[in-house]
C-alpha cells in the first residue's frame, strides 16, 4: 500500500469523456489498495479564454482580480472529477486552494507556495476518500485567491505530495515519460526509466518541456519521488528521483536543445577591468537575462565578447547596448538569432573525464562549428548555427551510445 498524488493536466481533462477516463484511472489505484489524492488543471483552453477576457478588459489589470477569474478553471474541474469519481463508486470530494488551505505568499499571478496543511487530507485518505485538489491556486495572506503562474499545477502536485508525505507524485501528461532526447528528431530516442532531479532540472531548463522547472526544484528540495507518465497509454513512465536511487548512472542521460536564444557579439571591446560590469550591469538593469558568456584573449588591448540572451529580449538588449556604447567603448555590435543551444546532461560526468571532448569530436566530424561553449557540473552546452540543430542532436545521441537497439 502506497500513498500517491496523481496530477492530470489540461489535455487529460479536456472534456467529459477524458474526465471519466481520469476517474477510471484513479479508481484503479484506489482498488489496488493505495491512498490517493488527485490534483487537476483547468480543462484545456479554459485558462486561455479567461486570461484573454482579463487582458481585453484592461492590459494592466489588477493581478488579484485576474487570480479570482482564472482560478475558476480548476474549480470547475475538481467538482466535475469528484462527480465522475462518485459515479464510479469512489468516495471523493473536491478541495479549492483556500479550503485545504494551500497558503502562498501575496505575489498574485505568480505566487509561491508557503505551507499546505495536510492533516485533514491524510485523515480522509486513510478513511478511503479521494481528495480532488485544485492545482495552480492557493490563498494569500490577504485572504484572497492566488495563482502560481502557468504550469503551476505541477508545483501544486509536488507540494501536496510533500505535505501528505506521499510515496510518489504521478504527473500524467500527453507524453509518456522523459526521453534521452526529442523523439521527433531522433526516432531511436529511448524513454528513461529513472532520472535524477539534477539531470531533470538541466533538461527542463534547456528545452525539454515535460515538467515545470520550479516543480522539479521543489521535488528535489522535498525529496518527492515524481513519475512522469501518459494519461492516454497504459505503461510505466519515467521516475524522477534522488540520484542514490539510480543504481547504474550513465555518463550522459540526455541531449537537449533550445532555439530560444540569440547570440550577441561586441567587437573590439577595450580589454580592461570594469568593461564586463558595464555591459552586463546595463543588461541586468533592463531585465535581460544573459546565459552563455565567452571572452577571447585580447590583443592590442582589445577583445571580442560574445554572449546569449533570450530571443524575445534581443531587441531590448541591442537598444540597451547601443545606449551604453560610449561607456563600454565597443566598435561593433553583431546580433545573430539563428543559433541553437545543444546540451548533453548526465550526473555521471562528475566522475568521468572526456565527456566534453566526445562532444566536440562528434560535432567536428559532422563539420559543425561550435560558436560558444559553457559547462556546469553535470552539463556541457554548445551554441551552433540553428540549421545544424537536428544533425547535432542526432550525432551526439549516437556518440554517447543513447540510441535504442535497432
Binding interface with a second copy (CB under 8 A): 16, 19-20, 50, 53-54, 56-58, 61-62, 64-69, 71-72, 75-76, 78-80, 82-84, 86-87, 93-94, 96, 98-99, 143-145
Cβ proximity of 375 and 352 under 8 Å: no
- The smaller minimum CB distance to a second copy, of residues 77 and 238, is found at 77
Joined grid coordinates for residue 281: 550591469
Nearest distance from C-beta of residue 100 to a second copy, angstroms: 11
Nearest distance from C-beta of residue 50 to a second copy, angstroms: 7
Nearest distance from C-beta of residue 156 to a second copy, angstroms: 17
Taking alpha carbons only, the member of 91, 94, 88, 102 closest to residue 76 is 94
3-class SS letters over 67-134: HHHHCHHHHHHHHHHHHHHHHCCCCEEEECCCCCCEEECCCCCCCCEEEECCHHHHHHHHCCCEEEEE
- The smaller minimum CB distance to a second copy, of residues 64 and 268, is found at 64
**Beta sheet of 379-385, edge-to-edge order:** 254-258, 339-345, 379-385, 372-376
- Please give the backbone phi and psi of residue 122, each rounded to the nearest 5 degrees, phi first: -60, -45
- The smaller minimum CB distance to a second copy, of residues 58 and 296, is found at 58
Cβ proximity of 243 and 385 under 8 Å: no
Taking alpha carbons only, the member of 167, 189, 229, 209 closest to residue 25 is 229
- The smaller minimum CB distance to a second copy, of residues 51 and 278, is found at 51
- The smaller minimum CB distance to a second copy, of residues 20 and 259, is found at 20
Query: How far, CA to CA in Å, does 310 sit from each of 42, 53, 291, 318, 339?
Result: 29, 28, 8, 12, 11
Nearest distance from C-beta of residue 214 to a second copy, angstroms: 25
- The smaller minimum CB distance to a second copy, of residues 64 and 267, is found at 64
Nearest distance from C-beta of residue 139 to a second copy, angstroms: 10
Nearest distance from C-beta of residue 251 to a second copy, angstroms: 50
Amino acid at each position: 500500500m502506497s500513498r500517491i498524488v496523481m496530477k492530470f493536466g489540461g489535455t487529460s481533462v479536456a472534456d467529459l469523456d477524458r474526465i471519466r477516463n481520469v476517474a477510471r484511472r484513479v479508481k484503479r489505484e484506489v482498488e489496488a489498495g493505495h491512498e490517493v489524492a488527485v490534483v487537476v488543471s483547468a480543462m484545456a483552453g479554459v485558462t486561455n479564454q479567461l486570461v484573454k477576457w482579463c487582458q481585453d478588459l484592461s492590459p494592466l489589470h489588477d493581478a488579484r482580480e485576474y487570480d479570482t477569474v482564472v482560478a475558476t478553471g480548476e474549480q470547475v474541474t475538481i467538482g466535475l472529477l469528484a462527480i465522475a469519481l462518485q459515479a464510479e463508486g469512489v468516495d471523493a470530494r473536491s478541495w479549492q486552494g483556500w479550503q485545504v488551505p494551500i497558503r502562498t505568499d501575496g505575489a498574485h499571478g505568480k505566487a509561491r507556495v508557503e505551507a499546505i496543511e495536510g492533516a485533514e487530507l491524510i485523515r480522509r485518505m486513510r478513511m478511503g476518500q479521494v481528495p480532488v485538489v485544485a492545482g495552480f491556486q492557493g490563498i494569500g495572506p490577504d485572504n484572497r485567491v492566488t495563482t502560481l503562474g502557468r504550469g503551476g499545477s505541477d508545483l501544486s502536485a509536488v507540494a501536496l505530495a510533500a505535505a501528505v508525505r506521499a510515496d510518489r507524485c504521478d504527473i500524467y501528461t500527453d507524453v509518456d515519460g522523459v526521453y534521452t532526447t526529442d523523439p521527433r528528431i531522433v526516432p531511436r530516442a529511448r524513454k528513461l526509466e529513472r532520472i535524477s532531479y539534477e539531470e531533470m532540472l538541466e533538461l527542463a531548463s534547456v528545452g525539454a518541456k515535460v515538467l515545470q522547472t520550479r516543480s522539479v526544484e521543489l521535488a528535489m528540495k522535498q525529496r518527492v519521488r515524481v513519475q512522469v507518465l501518459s494519461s492516454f497509454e497504459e505503461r510505466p513512465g519515467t521516475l524522477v528521483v534522488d540520484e542514490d536511487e539510480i543504481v547504474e548512472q550513465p555518463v550522459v542521460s540526455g541531449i537537449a536543445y533550445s532555439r530560444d536564444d540569440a547570440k550577441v557579439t561586441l567587437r573590439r571591446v577595450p580589454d580592461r577591468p570594469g568593461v564586463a560590469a558595464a555591459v552586463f550591469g546595463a543588461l541586468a538593469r533592463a531585465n535581460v537575462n544573459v546565459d552563455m558568456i565567452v571572452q577571447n584573449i585580447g590583443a592590442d588591448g582589445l577583445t571580442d565578447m560574445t554572449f546569449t540572451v533570450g530571443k524575445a529580449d534581443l531587441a531590448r538588449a541591442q537598444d540597451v547596448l547601443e545606449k551604453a556604447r560610449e561607456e563600454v567603448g565597443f566598435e561593433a555590435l553583431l546580433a545573430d538569432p539563428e543559433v541553437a543551444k545543444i546540451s548533453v546532461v548526465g550526473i555521471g560526468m562528475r566522475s568521468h573525464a572526456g565527456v566534453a571532448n566526445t562532444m566536440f569530436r562528434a560535432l567536428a566530424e559532422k563539420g559543425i562549428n561550435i560558436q560558444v561553449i559553457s559547462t556546469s557540473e553535470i552539463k556541457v552546452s554548445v551554441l551552433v548555427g540553428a540549421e545544424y540543430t537536428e544533425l547535432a542532436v542526432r550525432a551526439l545521441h549516437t556518440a554517447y551510445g543513447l540510441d535504442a537497439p535497432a
